Each structure stands twice: as structure tokens, then as C-alpha cells.
Amino acid sequence: MTGIGKSRKTTIYDLAELSGVSASAVSAILNGNWQKRRISARLAEKVTRIAQEQGYEVNLQASLLRSNRSKIIGMIVPKYDNRYFGSIVETFESMARARGLFPIVTCTRRDPALELEAARTMLSWQVDWLIATGATDPDKITALCAASGVSTLNLDLPGTQAPSVISDNYAGAKELTRRILLNCEKRYGEMRALLFVGGRATDHNTRERLRGFRDAHTEAGLTLSEENMLACGYAPQKAEMALRAFFTAGERCTGGLFVNSTISLEGVVQWLRRAGAEAEPLPPMGCFDWDPFVSLLAHDIEMVKQDVPAMLEAVFEIVDAGETGEQRREIPPLFVT
């Protein structure tokens, strides 16, 4: 009976009874090891058909409990509010499924407490691997998981206790800065020091991007004041406030803006609007991260697009090989205007 509202779910015992074989035969057939048991193809087909007719689906709770290889791979991700993380999750899911793994993803809303709670929930799910994306404290997650024998991998933001896959932030930022400076020269006839907006000076990516930002200025023969680096956090409001504070603090002159993420860019654009730059063209700008509407509507903004497919290839190479030791892979990002 495939009827609606059937309360008890079909089990392999039901299937065994219906097809006149034992439950273990059903299990073997449904798992595709009927060859190993030398079960006839005819019988295998019959059982498979009956399973289908009954709308049978294996109970993962029971199956995974028994076989003790969880086949579950977890990912925690800070937010779903930009294309970068969205595409990370989407790519992750499909690559995991392609390997016969069960992906479980959860979002921590950039909340350090939720981050740890999420990691613990992942342990309860018996994940084999946990991919910690953009985690504020990757090493704590690694320690937590290691205590249960679970391997972790840091994505986007590196840690020191597990493999890390990140963008080449230094090279990306340096090249981005170079491009903005070039646009600045085109616009104003000379290069001027830029303003760096967004991110936290405590996180690795921001530090590396600042280093690239600085070095590009040095190579261009420009001196850069520390005041020009506003690592004010990622939230749009913070970027907006930081800019307002910067420009009310004194007579400032900037060649353009290096914005550290699309999220911060929202605040920057908001600030430009409110500052009455409506009619004027945008100043020379670049953003470390990509968004389709930014490239379409403000197509003079230089953008860095992190190479998500390549990053996740690297992730699964490490997972597939079972490399659990500390290592760092830096993936060159792409450039779009």
C-alpha cells in the first residue's frame, strides 16, 4: 500500500516478506552488492521493483548507525547573503553528492557562538569531515572536532591546525590595487593613494589584502598613511560610518576606493549616495568579491572574483586523499570589470 497517510514506513522486512527473500538479501540488493552475494539478476530486479512500488527509501539513521561510516560531510558557512558564499554552498553540495556523500550545510550568521554550536551539531550528525567556511575561530573548531576524531578543513579563512584552502589574497589585492591606481591615473592624470574600506584587521584575509594594497602603492611610488586603512568590519553600516568619520575628520583627498567585500560595498555605495555623489561618476573603485549587478550597473568598478570551483576542487582533493595535516593552498582569484 502506497496510500496517503500510511503511518509506519516500509522497511526491508516488509520488502523481504513481499518478495519472499530474507532481509539481508534485500539489503544487499538495494545497496548494489548483489553481485558479491551472487544473487541472480532476475531476483535483484524483482526486489528493486517491489521497493520502488512500495516507495521504499532507506532509513539513513539506521543505515549509518550500523555501518559506522557516516558518509556525511558537513559545512558551516557564515551567511547566504552574497554570491561568493552562495556559490560555495552550491558547488559543495553538488560535488559532495557526486561522490556519494551526504552534504549537510548550516549557516552561522557570523555569530561565533553559533559557529561552535553548529560544529557540535555536526559532530552529533557523525560527520566524517567538517568544512569550516569563513570561521572566526577555525582552530577552536578543529580542536573540538579532533577530540571526536573528526577531520576539519578551513575554507576561505585559514587556520593553523588543519588544511586550509583560501584565495591568494595578497596577489589578488595587489593586482586589484594596481588596476584601481591605473584607473585613477586615467581619471585624474596622476596616481593618488587609495582608501581601503571594510574587513577586520584581525582576520588573515584582511591582513593579506592590506599587505598587497600597501605593496602596490609602494611599487607605484606612493606613500600611504595608516589612516587610509579602514578595517572597520564587514557590515554595510560600519563601512558607511567609517567613511563618514574619515571624511568629516579633515580635508581628505583620495584617488579611489579598495572595498574589501561586496557586503562592505553596499555601505560604500550607500555613503556615496548620501554624500550627494548622485550625479557625479563613481570614484575609481575596486571590490574584493564579485556581484553581477555591480558589474552591470557600475561597470567601471574593478572586481575580484574568487575562483570557487577551483577552491572546491582543492577541498575535495584533500578530503578524497584524507590529508588531515596542516597545509595551505592559495587559489589565484579571477578579475572582472
Under the binding rule (CB under 8 A), the answer on residue 325 touching a second copy is no
132-191 residues near a second copy, rule: CB under 8 A: 144, 146-149
Instruction: Examine residue 327 and tell whether it contacts a second copy (CB under 8 A).
Output: no
DSSP string for residues in 237-284: HHHHHHHHHHHHSS----S-EEES-HHHHHHHHHHHHHTT-SSSPPPS
Does position 24 bind DNA by CB under 7 A?
yes
Q: Is 201 in the site for a second copy (CB under 8 A)?
A: no
276 CB burial (10 A radius; 0-12, 13-18, 19+):
exposed
Q: Of 17, 49, 55, 63, which one interacts with DNA (CB under 7 A)?
A: 63
Q: Which stretch binds DNA (CB under 7 A): 29-37, 70-78, 165-173, 236-244?
A: 29-37
Applying CB under 7 A, the site for DNA has a residue count of 29
151-155 and 195-197 strand pairing? unpaired
As measured in angstroms, the least distance from the Cβ of 155 to DNA is 29
Distance (Å, whole) CA 259 – CA 79: 19
Rule CB under 8 A: say whether 254 interacts with a second copy. no
- Backbone phi and psi for residue 300, each to the nearest 5 degrees, phi listed first: -100, 10
DSSP three-state, residue 137: coil
Q: What are the cell numbers at 256?
A: 579611489
What minimum distance in Å lies between the beta carbon of 84 and a second copy? 11
Cβ proximity of 165 and 314 under 8 Å: yes
Only segment of 194-202, 222-230, 265-273, 304-312 that touches a second copy (CB under 8 A): 265-273
Q: How far is the CB of 95 from a second copy (least distance, A)?
A: 12
Q: Using CB under 8 A, which of the segments 131-139, 217-225, 240-248, 293-301 binds a second copy?
A: 293-301
Residue-wise DSSP of 185-237: HHHHSS----EEE-EETTSHHHHHHHHHHHHHHHHTT----GGGEE-EESSHH
**Is 22 a residue that touches DNA (CB under 7 A)?**
yes
One residue of 18, 46, 54, 58 binding DNA per CB under 7 A: 58
How many Å apart are CA 228 and CA 210, to the nearest integer?
11
CB of 114 to DNA, least distance (A): 22
Question: Which of DNA, a second copy, none does residue 139 bind (CB under 5 to 8 Å by kind)?
Answer: none
Residues 332 and 178: their CA atoms lie apart, in Å, by: 16
Residues contributing to the site for a second copy (CB under 8 A)? 2-10, 55, 57-62, 64-65, 70, 79-81, 83, 85-87, 89-90, 93-94, 102-107, 109, 120-121, 123-126, 144, 146-149, 236, 262, 265-266, 269-270, 273, 291-294, 296-299
